[in-house]
Amino acid sequence: MKIILVGKNLEDIRPLLAARGFVEDSAAPELVVAHGGDGALLGAARAYPDLPLLPIRDARTAPLCPAHECGIQLDAFRAGDTPLTRMPKVCGTVRNVTLCALNDVFLHNHDLSSALRYRVRINGELYANEVVGDGVGIASVHGSTAYYKSITHSVFRVGIGLAFSNSTEEVSHLVLDSSSVIEIEVVRGPGILIADNAPERPLVSEGELVTFRQSEAGAEVYGLENFMCPACRALRHPSPQPRPSGWLF
């Protein structure tokens, strides 16, 4: 099978791929193998939007449980036993620039010492006349377990999530229908538009609009459940150590 291999510590996985008939071929690839962590998957989805992805965590930095050792995952894929998941993407547009993301797209304050002021419309109706905070953005279902969760302390399973980061007003985070269109008008800025870990970050000036929505495009990912395995995660993030004696709080 012809593949593109991306990520880190590729010398660890290359021999395993070669032994199973995977051939690196950037001219006519059939699959992208992303070896690494979440960032490798996000980058691969952005760089190769038209190819299916097989993400496998790098065991050096993300230990794998016995069921998901790299060789076992590759054998299962070659045997046709790895489920394929179609993952929706979200996007943000300012002027003629559209950024798409597997996790989330956020409008953030450009100057870290100055809050962003913005107005929010959902499906053409005013939701908030002015919000002051660090930023606002939308997340996909997959992204709901990432930055969205750190802001809202919640996750969702359907639709798209709208989150407000460190807003001074009492404004509710929302889970909206996937067909919803959110317009953010910068009242005081500038802001920057950020999509996942993309290096492109366009400036958004005062008076400009950012339009958020679910993208028409998605990503096809093999073995997503393996990649998100709770047992593997427990090895990466073990339970906190007991507090020392005499600890008061």
Q: What gap in Å lies between CA 7 and CA 178, rounded to an integer?
A: 31
Secondary structure (DSSP) of 97-143: EEEEESSEEEEEESSTTS-EEEEEEETTEEEEEEEEESEEEEE-TGG
Half-sphere exposure of 28 (CA within 13 A, CB side): 1
The catalytically annotated residue of 12, 25, 38, 58 is: 38
Confirm whether 38 is a catalytic residue. yes
3-state secondary structure of 35: strand
Q: What gap in Å lies between CA 232 and CA 123, rounded to an integer?
A: 40
List Cβ neighbours of 13 (8 Å cut-off, separation of 6 or more): 5, 33, 35, 56, 70
Q: What is the DSSP letter of 238?
A: P
Separation in Å, CA 21 to CA 2, 7, 26, 75:
9, 19, 16, 11
Chain-centroid distance, C-alpha 36: 14
- Is residue 130 within 8 A of residue 118, CB to CB? The reply is yes
- β-pairing, 31-35 vs 2-7, is parallel
Please list the active-site residues: 38
